[in-house]
């Protein structure tokens, strides 16, 4: 499944402008044969927008979800994107996957909030594994800091995730996560991991880019630089099946020894 990663911070504070950026990227991705376009954490509104997070937050089935469903249908590709989700008086840092037919397939709420900024504005989610079937692959969702917890990714592996989408807002000086940790997560859990970042300065944060789609062999299939960029790579189910057959990590686990972890 050809997957496009939109490395962009969009236009912080403007949902309308970010929808335009997403629409343009969807057109380029579809023209390149992509079946899936993934955008970064909080792409819909911007990340470093402070009190505007609550003001711009929308329900999972809100107007922006409808607009993105229309974009997905018009370009005939699935879209995953980050946004602030409002559920009553509660706001979550969420990611949603919408199919090429415009159907809402999965909605995930970030379970591990990073730093005081996120804890001041969001409530953590409670469901670690959220998945959907897409083009014959099991696609999972998590957000940024979540992927840095090995238990989180292993839970996806045990639940059968083939391609893990990780919208992120990775900032300086933590670029080693994109460079080193994400390919290791893909290898040790025998899955594809698509880590799609913001880029450039936004408020107090300097986002480092380096978006990557890593394969189950730990090799980056594509990697962006530090600027805004659209990169593409294939998640190959056949290669994944062969890699899982050859790599015994999941089969050789001894869960009875790990009870102290929980």
pLDDT digits (tens, 9 = 90+) for 112-138: 999 999 999 999 999 999 999 999 999
Strand partners for 38: 5, 80
Q: Please work out, in degrees rounded to the nearest 5, the angle formed at the alpha carbon of residue 177 by the alpha carbons of 176 and 182.
A: 125
How much is the pLDDT for 225? 97
Across the range 2-17, mean pLDDT stands at 97
Q: What is the DSSP letter of 224?
A: -
Across the range 214-236, mean pLDDT stands at 98
Predicted confidence band of residue 259 (pLDDT cuts 50, 70, 90): confident
Across the range 149-178, mean pLDDT stands at 96
Q: Which of 151, 130, 128 has the alpha carbon at shortest distance from 139? A: 130
How much is the pLDDT for 260? 87
How much is the pLDDT for 243? 97
How much is the pLDDT for 221? 98
How much is the pLDDT for 161? 98
Q: What is the DSSP letter of 124?
A: P
Residue 165 has pLDDT above 90, yes or no: yes
Q: How far is CA 64 from CA 61, 84, 104, 136, in A?
A: 8, 11, 12, 27
Residues with a catalytic annotation lie at 41, 110, 144
How much is the pLDDT for 235? 98
pTM (predicted TM-score):
0.97
Q: What percent of the chain has pLDDT over 90?
A: 96
How much is the pLDDT for 203? 86
Task: Give the Cα separation of 56 and 50 in Å (integer).
Answer: 11
Q: Please work out, in degrees rounded to the nearest 5, the angle formed at the alpha carbon of residue 121 by the alpha carbons of 116 and 123.
A: 100
C-beta separation of 144 from 168 below 8 A: yes
Residue 224 has pLDDT above 90, yes or no: yes
C-beta separation of 127 from 156 below 8 A: no
How much is the pLDDT for 261? 80
Across the range 62-79, mean pLDDT stands at 98
Mean pLDDT of the chain: 97
């Amino acid at each position: 499944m050809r997957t496009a990663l939109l490395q962009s911070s969009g236009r912080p504070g403007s949902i309308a402008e970010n929808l335009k950026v997403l629409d343009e990227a969807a057109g380029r991705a579809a023209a390149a044969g992509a079946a899936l376009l993934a955008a970064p954490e909080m792409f819909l509104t911007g990340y470093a927008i402070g009190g505007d997070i609550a003001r711009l937050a929308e329900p999972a089935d809100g107007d922006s979800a409808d607009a993105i469903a229309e974009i997905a249908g018009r370009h005939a590709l699935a879209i995953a994107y980050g946004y602030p989700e409002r559920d009553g008086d509660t706001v979550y840092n969420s990611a949603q996957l919408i199919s090429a037919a415009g159907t809402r397939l999965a909605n995930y709420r970030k379970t591990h909030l990073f730093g005081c900024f996120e804890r001041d504005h969001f409530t953590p989610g409670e469901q670690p594994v959220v998945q959907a079937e897409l083009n014959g692959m099991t696609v999972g969702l998590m957000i940024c800091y979540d992927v840095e917890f090995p238990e989180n990714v292993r839970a996806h592996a045990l639940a059968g995730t083939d391609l893990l989408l990780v919208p992120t807002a990775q900032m300086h000086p933590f670029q080693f996560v994109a460079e080193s940790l994400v390919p290791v997560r893909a290898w040790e859990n025998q899955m594809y991991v698509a880590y799609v970042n913001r880029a450039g300065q936004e408020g107090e944060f300097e986002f480092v880019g380096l978006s990557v789609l890593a394969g189950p062999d730990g090799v980056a299939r594509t990697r962006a630089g530090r600027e805004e960029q659209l990169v593409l790579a294939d998640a190959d189910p056949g290669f994944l099946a062969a890699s899982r057959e050859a790599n015994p990590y999941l089969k050789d686990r001894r869960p009875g020894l790990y009870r102290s972890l929980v």
